[in-house]
Amino acid sequence: MRIAVGQFASAENWTDNLKTCQELIDGAVAGAADLLVLPEGALSLFVDEPARIREAAQPLDGPFVSGLVERTRGSETTVIAGVHVPAEDGRVANVLVAARGGELVATYTKLHLYDAFGRRESDNVIPGTNAPVVIDCAGWKVGLMTCYDVRFPELARLLADQGAQVLAVPAAWVRGPAKEWHWEVMVTARALENTCYVAASGECGRRNIGASMVVDPLGIARARLGDAPGLLWAGASADELASARRTLPVLENRRFAVDPRLEPHV
């Protein structure tokens, strides 16, 4: 599998962000990527007024997602990006969309909301109630996670239990003391403890750290970006994955299963 990860600084205007995403899609398609992972919250930037997320949200058949989906027409590249979608109670849902060949092939609603470090995502966003989502991509199984989800190892393990060989993690990881270190540790741990690849896209700019990376099944970062926009590339090998799982058979050696019951969001 050929993996591309796109990183950019989201603007407040959705049309600017759509253009940027489309350019990254074009670059990934031109480079024969099987998978392109774009950031969380690709639709619009929210810094000083988080409640604006409600005004800027668009339905899945709105112009932003439609523009992403249409840009994949005629290619086999699977594109994953994060958007905000209106919800019934006036808040929004934080949704990953997966598009390929001009079609919307899957969605995943963020399960773990960022009510931490003095912030409350749940003031404006509803928590997902869906089961973990794994999609097919170029003969591989790709599990979907969003940003704060990466701090919860049980979700990654449930995805691995469903056959995930790659975890796609769009994110908008907010700056703060030691936050860059938290990001690197969590992304690396999810790869190492599940012996899978992790393709993590971080939004950059004045609010978020960027630091996109692809980590292999033995926890080695194969490619990474700093805090500037860019498109990084990495390969995933079935032989390498099999070898890692023979060398470090943690999925076979474990003694506890993860209970798939969904706890209520508090």
CA distance 213 to 34: 16
The catalytic residue among 21, 40, 121, 137 is: 40
The end-to-end CA distance of the chain, in Å, is 39
Strands (E), the chain: 2-7, 35-37, 78-86, 92-100, 103-109, 125-126, 134-137, 140-144, 166-171, 197-202, 213-215, 221-224, 230-235
Known active-site residue 110 = yes
Report the C-alpha dihedral over residues 139, 141, 147, 148, rounded to 10 degrees: -170
Instruction: Out of 147, 196, 203, 204, pick the active-site residue.
Output: 147
Q: Pick the catalytic residue: 110, 121, 137, 196?
A: 110
Amino acid, res. 185: V
* Residue found under tokens 């591989």: 140
Return the structure tokens found at 30: 């031109």
Residue 172, helix vs strand vs coil: coil
Active-site residue set = 40, 110, 147
